[in-house]
Amino acid sequence: MNARKKWVSRLLPAGILLVGAAAFALLKTSATPPQRIEQAYLGPLVQGADFPAGRVQVLIEGQGTVRPSAQIDLVSQVSGVVVWKSPKLEGGGYFSRGEELLHIEAEDYELAVAQAQAQVAQADLRLEQTREQAAVARQEWELLHPGQAGSPLALYVPQLAAAEADLKAAQARVGEAQLRLKRTRLQAPFAGRVRQSRVEAGQFVSPGQPLAQLYSTERVEIAVPLPDEDLGWFAVPGLGSQAADPNAVWRQGETGAAGRAGEKAGALVSGWHAGRQHQWQGRVVRAEGEVDPQSRMVSVVVEIEDPQGQAEAPLLVGAFVNVAIAGRQLDGVRTLPRAALRQDQTVWVATPEGTLQVRPVQVVRPLKEEVLVRVDLGEGERIILTALSGVSDGMKVRLAEEVRL
């Protein structure tokens, strides 16, 4: 019995293996081979976008520091003791055009005016006396020498001319004394601010002595350094009108519009004050007189009228600001990201037939992150944005869902 079990345990695995091998052979002989399906190669998957052509306002961007259009030293033209100083005549103080800033002691000059007026009265009296004497002399001459011409000296002609000259000189001395008296009150020649004050009440001042440094806030300037190629996009007074089209001019609420011929190019100035950004309108008024020897750039001067009233915040002298100058408006221009522009000034175009075309473009102006170009695009054609390697003209591509830019 034990021997039988031994044989069964030995033959059972061999039997299982034989049955499996027979089943595998049966399946292999009865199975049909799978059919091979060939698919056409559609090319790499790319992203493309439509960049419609239209009118583009060219902006020439730069930076600069705000400076006053006028800066002077407040100087006394007469001598004397300062008897009054305006509270505004301190560093940073604001003042209006014609506002009095300083009074110099005026008693000596008032006395000089009174003395000059007294001399006028005396000269006028002498002139009247000389006129009476001349009239009497003429009557006597006509009685004693009828029909004869009298000598000028006998007729008091030179005496009368001298008396008239003395009167005019006395009147001129009155005007001079009044002018000196007027100069004891120093007035602001423009609306502005005080940069530095160097005088105090009670101080004796002399003619020509600088008393304070003032600068105008009625208008300010910004010198914007630009490369030479940027000067051809707008008219620069003093350099000739390089712009072929009328200049664009900034207007309130607009991002730029074409201006009339002869208008100065507009500029939009933006800067920060008290944690907020503000904007001011300006115009290009001139170019500075030389090329910077180090940067080889030309600085154009942007002038801003009434910077204090244009925005909620003042445009402070010394502030560093961004400037965008409105240049020409161009038609038929497309704005592409720089990544879309390939080597040799070309773009890749995906056609409706699913092929890639290498198409040359005319680069109008490169920008920081974009480029303005002119390129012809047909109906349904898209500019490829995806980077590919081994590109050839006419290769197949698959256009993914269109990117909206």
**pLDDT at position 141, please?**
76
DSSP letter assigned to residue 31: P
Contact 315, 277 (CB under 8 A): no
3-state secondary structure of 328: strand
**pLDDT at position 110, please?**
96
DSSP per residue, 211-232: EEEEEE-SEEEEEEEE-GGGGG
DSSP per residue, 264-326: PPEEEEEEEETTEEEEEEEEEEEEEEEE-TTT--EEEEEEEESHHHHSSS---TT-EEEEEEE
The predicted-structure confidence for 36-91, as pLDDT tens digits, reads as follows 666 667 788 999 999 999 999 899 999 999 999 999 999 999 999 999 999 999 99
Measured CA distances, 326 to 102, 256, 258 (Å):
44, 6, 9
265 forms beta bridges with: none
What is the reported pTM?
0.70
Residues 6+ apart with CB under 8 A from 95: 86, 88, 89, 101, 188, 191, 192, 193, 194, 214
**Burial status of residue 144 (CB atoms within 10 A of its CB: 0-12, 13-18, 19 or more):** exposed
**pLDDT at position 12, please?**
63
Distance, in Å, from the CA atom of 172 to the CA atom of 160, rounded to the nearest integer, reads 19
Q: In the CATH hierarchy, which fold is given to the domain comprising 79-103+187-216?
A: OB fold (Dihydrolipoamide Acetyltransferase, E2P) (2.40.50)
**pLDDT at position 255, please?**
37
The predicted-structure confidence for 240-272, as pLDDT tens digits, reads as follows 545 444 333 333 333 333 334 456 889 999 998
**pLDDT at position 190, please?**
94
Pairing of strands 398-399, 45-46: parallel
Q: Return the domain boundaries, the chain.
A: 45-56+332-399, 59-68+217-330, 79-103+187-216, 106-183
Detail the DSSP E strand segments found in 69-163. 71-75, 80-85, 94-95, 100-104
**The domain defined by 45-56+332-399 carries CATH number 2.40.420.20:** yes
Which residue ranges of the chain lie beneath pLDDT 50? 241, 243-261, 403-405
Place of tokens 């006053």: 68
Smallest Cα–Cα separation from 235: which of 270, 178, 283? 283
Q: In the CATH hierarchy, which fold is given to the domain comprising 59-68+217-330?
A: Elongation Factor Tu (Ef-tu); domain 3 (2.40.30)
Q: Which structure tokens are listed for 1?
A: 């019995």
**pLDDT at position 240, please?**
59
**pLDDT at position 313, please?**
83
Supply the Cα-derived Rg of the chain in whole angstroms. 47
Residues 6+ apart with CB under 8 A from 253: none
**Burial status of residue 85 (CB atoms within 10 A of its CB: 0-12, 13-18, 19 or more):** buried
Residues 6+ apart with CB under 8 A from 353: none
